[in-house]
Structure 1
Amino acid sequence: MNELLDALVIGGGAAGLNGAIMLARSRRSVLVVDSGTPRNAPADGVHGLLGLDGIPPAELLSRGRDEVRGYGGQIVRGEVVKAEPGPGGFVVTLADGTELRARRLLVATGLRDVLPDVKGLAEQWGRGVVHCSYCHGWEVRDEPIGVLASVHHALLFRQLTDDLVFFANGTELDDDTRAKLTGRGIRIVETPVEEIESTEDSITGVRLADGEVVPRRVIAVMPTLLARTEGLEGLQLPLEDVPQGRRFVTGMAGTTPVKGVWVAGNATDLAAQVGASAAAGALAGAHMNADLLA
């Protein structure tokens, strides 16, 4: 742990592991710090990933870790509590007091989904409650779907089912938007949502403030997407608020205004799926290697 690493990767998801592979294949000394809390853990499978469609998230990460180790990279389970400039580059401190030093950093911490404050929603997250038609839409096709407050989601999920209800839940709809929804055969419910009702295994309906229960099997939501920044404050990486949430500001290949620090994956591209995050990590890793060469 006293070694000055060529690169330290914070986050062991698709972006972090693929970045580490690129660096390790270039014979760089690289270590990945992974907290073990992947965003997609509740999902049954990863979709839209060429050649690996449907692979369980845990299996994909396990394969990735084995590949990093196969090229001589190291992986440590831990939580970063502090990261800041230091001798030779950067010093990263873990929750157990371990200090790691590296010439370059790749931040691949991912993001945190903040769900709407509706009773019963969080309990079904990743099962009956979904957020992405491309990630989970095929698996819920032809089901009675309810969409909570997102017009964009309503139009996307309508491609997958003939039985879709849009719960406005306070969202103001202009005449043009109403026409788009009703023209696609989407029922609009404007009574506020009180609770998502479910059994242990599945959603059964949406209870409204007036007591009516609208039977549904699937609820689609648009969470607020917040880049995971815990422990990274000392790097002073710029953040920006965007319509979907908050992200790290990056340039080409994940570069940042902080020399020696790159960001890849959902921490900067909030909408990136697994394949796009992995590709971004690979690109960042290659640019980090080129920077070390220079």
Structure 2
Amino acid sequence: MSGQATRQRDVVVIGGGAAGLSAALTLARARRRVTVIDGGAPRNAPAEGVHGLLALDGVRPADLVARGRAEVVRYGGELLDGEVSEVSAVPDGFVVTTRDGGVLESRRLLIATGLVDELPDVPGVQERWGRDVVHCPYCHGWEVRDRAIGVLASGPMSVHQALMFRQLSEGVRFFSRDQEPTADERARFDALGITVTAGAVARLAVSGDQLTGVQMADGRLVPVDVVVVATRMVARAEVFADIGITPTLHPAGSFIPADATGRTAVPGVWAAGNVSNLSAQVSAAAADGARAAQHINADLVMSDADRAVAGLTVAGSDR
């Protein structure tokens, strides 16, 4: 896009994951001029497959995105690889500028930038993330069923995670670190056979390319096959501050508030997927995108109709 003049679009979608591509597909099929700008850093890139997605269970994340991109292009949608550096409001919409100097002017804007998982600061977690360090029982639970699972206390969702993964394995252990279970939580753990291991965690232990356990600060090695962590999920929203988009803080991170249609508090701006729904899996994110796109298109239809009426009124007054 570098060096090109400003181009007019009906909708610019920022973020090319499941939500953004689903929205773009819906809009392109409605014959809208839609452009998706994507920085190529999907949240689920480390995962081997996408699970719980009807008819596509187990598809590789990269393959899913490739299929989605091809479908958007098939209906006339535009895809741009790059990062957005600035978004500003203008009287009839928004100006979106990319880091390579490209400029798009758009009547409506859909934010589908997703979120960033901030991982616990424990050596080995980052390196094993998406493999044998996981966070979601619906995304990874079946794959780790009946294995020795260690839940690393790392946030307000950790106790809940231990209870959820206990449904999938009898061998669940809770590493409490500085998050000692309450009496009620301890009672549930005891009733379900969830072992609590107290003390500071030094690192994850690995032999070759295999996770072997959790190394405690006191030298103990506690064998586990899988480690579950609670990430802090932070909306990718910094670039939208100048148009009034302010993320809302949540115990588990931050998100962009939006109503059931995806409409934000800023006129003309919608949000879909993980950027506005921290718990959305790929299937839910895609549904969010399609729903937001339908409402964006309906909003544009009404705007176009009002403009047409205004044009007729002006023409009639000249007679």
Letter in 2 for 1:23: L
* Equivalent position of 2:242 in the other structure: 234
From 281, 286, 290, the counterpart of 1:282: 290
| C-alpha contact 2:7 2:103 (8 A) present in aligned 1 | no
Distance in 1 (CA, whole Å) between partners of 2:274 and 2:207 is: 32
Bigger drift between 269-278 and 195-204 goes to: 195-204
Letter in 2 for 1:74: E
SS in 2 for 1:9: strand
Structure 2 residue 176 is matched with structure 1 residue 168: yes
- Counterparts of 1:1-294 in structure 2, within 5 Å, are 2-86=6-90, 88-149=92-153, 150-294=158-302
Q: Shift in Å at residue 200 of structure 1?
A: 4.7
Q: Return the TM-score normalized by structure 1.
A: 0.98
Letter in 1 for 2:62: A
Letter in 2 for 1:131: H
Distance in 2 (CA, whole Å) between partners of 1:32 and 1:200 is: 41
| C-alpha contact 2:13 2:109 (8 A) present in aligned 1 | yes
Distance in 1 (CA, whole Å) between partners of 2:33 and 2:209 is: 45
Which consecutive unaligned segments of at least 5 residues does structure 1 have? none
Letter in 2 for 1:128: D
Bigger drift between 85-94 and 188-197 goes to: 85-94
Q: Which has the higher contact order (CA 8 A, sep 6+)?
A: 1
Distance in 2 (CA, whole Å) between partners of 1:128 and 1:198 is: 11
Bigger drift between 1-10 and 131-140 goes to: 1-10
Distance in 1 (CA, whole Å) between partners of 2:25 and 2:100 is: 26
CA 1:200–1:65: 2 relative to 1, 3 Å: farther
Per-residue CA deviation, residues 164-201 of structure 1 (Å, 9 max, x unaligned), is 11000110322111110111111101111111111352
Identity of aligned residues (%): 52
What do you get for the CA RMSD once the two structures are aligned? 1.0
SS in 2 for 1:168: strand
Distance in 1 (CA, whole Å) between partners of 2:39 and 2:225 is: 33
| C-alpha contact 2:234 2:253 (8 A) present in aligned 1 | yes
| C-alpha contact 1:16 1:108 (8 A) present in aligned 2 | yes
| C-alpha contact 2:273 2:289 (8 A) present in aligned 1 | yes
Bigger drift between 202-211 and 58-67 goes to: 202-211
| C-alpha contact 1:80 1:230 (8 A) present in aligned 2 | no
Per-residue CA deviation, residues 182-232 of structure 1 (Å, 9 max, x unaligned), is 111111011111111113522111011111000111000110000011322
Q: Shift in Å at residue 143 of structure 1?
A: 1.1
Letter in 2 for 1:275: S
SS in 1 for 2:249: strand
Distance in 1 (CA, whole Å) between partners of 2:239 and 2:262 is: 19
Q: Shift in Å at residue 87 of structure 1?
A: 5.0
| C-alpha contact 1:81 1:232 (8 A) present in aligned 2 | no
Spell out structure 1 runs of 4+ moving beyond 3 A.
Answer: none
Which consecutive unaligned segments of at least 5 residues does structure 2 have? 303-319
SS in 2 for 1:24: helix
| C-alpha contact 1:19 1:284 (8 A) present in aligned 2 | yes
